[in-house]
Structure 1
């Protein structure tokens, strides 16, 4: 979590902290292999202008219980923008990387940059689950309803040992943002590059190169949001970039402004 409590990847968290609160809750033990956590953003902008919150998404698929209907969000490879207005809340299910594959009807890459009706994946019961969840205010109760809905689906899922393997691969990358090259990662894992690419397309929904780059950009944005001066040349070297210019190009392409300007607000 950032110092604002909004989580890594939320851009400009200092601007949102006054009206946006994001709470988290662990899933039931029986879901821990598939679900990272539930997330529950609550906002109150009554009497204020709408606000567009930008997020550098993680390599995860989400089921989001929201009005007017629950949606499944694939990996969002560009900056994700959510318009907030009035007062409200949603409950999101953050699946572990690769863990949505047993629920999907094909490769998870087909969901990339898309939001599809959750009923298309989970059937009509997901809408009723969403209505019950959003009628509640207590996060543990909301999480308990989500637990029951997802646990009821588990008996119909075929066992897939690659789910755990892929989750570990992504965790290796995100814990080490200094990793830079796919061939270097594949060599370290003792895995052919093509197999690594196929696994990520099938299970993650984004390429290994994208996941490597996003881990570095999360680190760069987190440093900028800390509010202290950042030596971008040193950070570029720490993250495996050839030079500061390369970091600046990546950051600007993803966030929309150069890192120095972003850090300067």
Structure 2
């Protein structure tokens, strides 16, 4: 199984989170965002796998901007659709796990967006484009293809971050203050034990349940009921990956079979494969615990505005 470790500059690999796998396997490195883009971008990452063909499973995730440095392929969605990759592609928060197949070598630089970042940078209602491949050139214009050409000439994750951040800074737009409050409420709610939907509605003063539902769809790609299922399944997957007994993990579900079905729906894995044959990228994202949607405090540089 691939091993995930945290490193610092002193470790010789740079700071961040690094996936170490067997020789010939994937190499994956994350760096959490710092500075003025932190409210919008959760993580930057660089993925490299020099195999002739790369296959894997992608759990439901936050919104992503992906720059295909090498390789091209298809995403296979649960409804049977296949969509081809784009040189720069955007993926909204999904509703179920998907599989991918790429003719390698496969190198990808990615930007994981917080929900506020999805609204500020992509500006598409997430639920309307969920489980689709969006052409980045259609959203960002031809300059994003010029940026891709620059990224393909670079070697390190740090160099790529330095190249992409000015582009993102120029693209960002402010969001209403009330939407920040909603995103913060969802973040805190996602870490709660009960994930009671009414509790989420009650946590957003000044908004009706209908407004909360609409904004959850636009920012997070699903209604509060859907988010409850997704967060519960991802937390269960994390606990199973760490070795907890399936019978204990199943407590928040109607029974153990329900838990297994939900975990497989959102991660593409069963409890057994989470422990023994887990996709290396999924292992890295679970180990990193990337469930949180906003920093604890929103920096003033986000520049929110009133409704």
TM-score (norm 1): 0.79
* Distance in 1, Cα, partners of 2:208 & 2:272: 38
Aligned positions of 1:115-264 closer than 5 A:
115-154=133-172, 157-176=173-192, 178-189=193-204, 192-226=208-242, 228=243, 230-237=244-251, 240-255=252-267, 258-260=270-272, 263=275
| Greater strand proportion | 2
After superposition, give the CA deviation of every residue in 1:204-245 in whole Å (9 maximum; x if it has no partner).
Answer: 22222222222222222223333x4x32222122xx223323
Relative to structure 1, the CA distance from residue 150 to residue 163 in structure 2 (aligned partners, 3 Å threshold; closer, same or farther) is: farther
- Cα deviation, 1:66-115, whole Å, max 9, x if unaligned, reads 15621111112121222244323111111112321133454222221111
1:23 is aligned to 29
Partner of 1:11: none
The CA deviation at 1:260 is: 4.7
Superposition map of 1:57-136 within 5 A: 57-58=60-61, 60-67=62-69, 69-136=87-154
C-alpha distance in structure 2 between counterparts of 1:213 and 1:161, whole Å: 27
Alignment length (residue pairs):
246
Is contact 2:240-2:246 (8 Å) kept?
no
C-alpha distance in 1, partners of 2:266/2:31?
Answer: 29
**Contact 2:94–2:221 (CA under 8 A) maintained in structure 1:** no
TM, length-normalised to structure 2: 0.70
Query: Structure 1: 5+ residue runs without aligned partners?
Result: 8-15
- Aligned equivalents of 2:201, 2:158: Cα separation in 1: 40
CA distance in 1, matches of 2:204, 2:123: 28
> Post-superposition shift, 1:52?
1.6
